[in-house]
Amino acid sequence: MGQARDYVNDVTKGGGREKKNCRFSVLSVAWDPLICQLNLKIEVPSSMITSKIARFLSTAALVVGFSTLAHAQATRTWVSGVGDDANPCSRTAPCKTFAGAISKTAACGEISVLDPGGFGAVTITKSITIDGTGTLAGILASLTTAVIVNATATDVITIRGVSMNGACNGIRGMNILQAKAVNVEDCVIFRFANEGILVNETNDLQLHVRNSVIRDNVGDGLNSTTTTSAVKVTLDNVASTGNGNGVHARNGTRVTARGCNFSGNATNGLFADSTSGFGTIRAWDCQISMNGGNGVRAGNVGGGVSGVEIGQNQINHNVSNGVLVGTGGVVETFVNNSIRGNAVDACPGCTSVGPGN
């Protein structure tokens, strides 16, 4: 019961008039039947109306707040080959595509794959992990790019366990425009009309590729450049085979590779090719064989410093040179590589930087 206030009303009784006090509860808007008559006239104070409106608005705000929470982005979402993008992307009601799930996944969250399926091309604009480990997580990217990364300079993106198939006419496997770091783990990227992975960054970027295959693309397996800063690439147990060049390190790119295979490419296994600034590759314990041009090439038209460092690599049976030092190029060798069976063997024009074994 709210606070009661006294109001005075004239009531006719026995030909005369008398004043009678009535009690009215402001908060409950209820009459006291023992005191008041039904013909009582009330004037409600404006403060009471203001209080009622305030309480109504507060209640409405709470309802809206709870509704917003109910539709908040999830930290983990799910996709399934039989999912539906109209679903909330939960484990029991998964989405159909990566593009459908990413809008319902919070920054720094994860999209997980429930069962085999093709989940479509996706553009990534925030920190996120896409994980297809344990099943067939495919992107069939005909006439498009499988994964575009265009996030902020502080975002970290991880693509794990995903097969990207260009169907012979896809644009490219991955186009990395901006991020802080991109991790590609346990992936296969193949049959694209251009690069397997293209890095065309304007800021600093770290690209880490591990346990992955980039094969049979018309363009380079990996092609990297930046206009103002540095792209730093690490390759660990990566096969880049059957492409234009296995690795093409252009302006502002530093690549280190260990335990990799850069063989069977149309032109060069490794190609450092800077026209401004630097482009460097350091390869250790790699197979660099049977390429249509050179195993290793440093320098092209000049204008920048193009450098390659080689140690304990097998550089065999390439159509042209095992190692070619071109205009603006520098090749440093630890003198412990096998450079045999090429049209031109040994390492002419190279600089020795360490002992052999």
pLDDT tens for each residue of 19-35? 444 444 444 444 444 44
Do 45 and 129 lie in a common domain?
no
Do 35 and 116 lie in a common domain?
no
Do 231 and 167 lie in a common domain?
yes
Do 168 and 220 lie in a common domain?
yes
Given 19, 47, 69, the domain boundary residue is 69
Do 47 and 115 lie in a common domain?
no
CATH of the domain at 190: 2.160.20.10
Q: Is the pTM of this model over 0.75?
A: yes
Do 241 and 154 lie in a common domain?
yes
Q: Is 357 part of a structural domain of the chain? A: no
Residue 14 — very low, low, confident or very high, per pLDDT cuts 50/70/90?
very low
Which element (helix H / strand E) includes 309?
strand 296-311
In 3-state terms, what secondary structure has residue 322?
coil
Given 23, 46, 69, the domain boundary residue is 69
What is the rounded distance in angstroms from the CA atom of residue 265 to the CA atom of residue 263?
6
Do 333 and 188 lie in a common domain?
yes
Q: Which residues contact 135 (CB under 8 A, 6 or more apart)?
A: 113, 114, 115, 116
Mean pLDDT throughout 52-81?
64
> What's the confidence (pLDDT) of residue 348?
96
Beta strands 351-352; 323-333: pairing state:
parallel
Do 35 and 118 lie in a common domain?
no
- What are 117-126's pLDDT values in tens digits? 999 999 999 9
3-state helix, strand, coil in the chain (%, to 5): 10, 50, 40
Q: Is 347 part of a structural domain of the chain? A: yes
pLDDT at 42 over 80: no
Do 35 and 184 lie in a common domain?
no
Residue numbers of the domain that contains 41: 4-69
The amino acid that residue 156 corresponds to is V
Q: Is 93 part of a structural domain of the chain? A: no
Do 64 and 127 lie in a common domain?
no
Q: Is 85 part of a structural domain of the chain? A: no
What is the rounded distance in angstroms from the CA atom of residue 231 to the CA atom of residue 238?
18
> What's the confidence (pLDDT) of residue 4?
45
Q: Is 97 part of a structural domain of the chain? A: no
Given 69, 86, 111, the domain boundary residue is 69
What is the rounded distance in angstroms from the CA atom of residue 133 to the CA atom of residue 137?
8
- What are 144-194's pLDDT values in tens digits? 999 999 999 999 999 999 999 999 999 999 999 999 999 999 999 999 999
The candidate with the shortest Cα–Cα distance to 100, out of 117, 82, 78, 116, is: 78
> What's the confidence (pLDDT) of residue 25?
42
Do 41 and 187 lie in a common domain?
no
- What are 47-62's pLDDT values in tens digits? 555 555 556 555 554 4
Do 271 and 149 lie in a common domain?
yes
Number of domains in the chain: 2
Q: Is 109 part of a structural domain of the chain? A: yes
> What's the confidence (pLDDT) of residue 227?
86
Per-residue DSSP letter, 344: B
> What's the confidence (pLDDT) of residue 65?
45
> What's the confidence (pLDDT) of residue 126?
98
Mean pLDDT throughout 4-17?
45
The candidate with the shortest Cα–Cα distance to 191, out of 132, 225, 143, is: 143
Mean pLDDT throughout 288-300?
97
Residue 301 — very low, low, confident or very high, per pLDDT cuts 50/70/90?
confident
Q: Are 119 and 138 in contact (CB under 8 A)?
A: yes
The candidate with the shortest Cα–Cα distance to 118, out of 102, 104, 136, is: 136
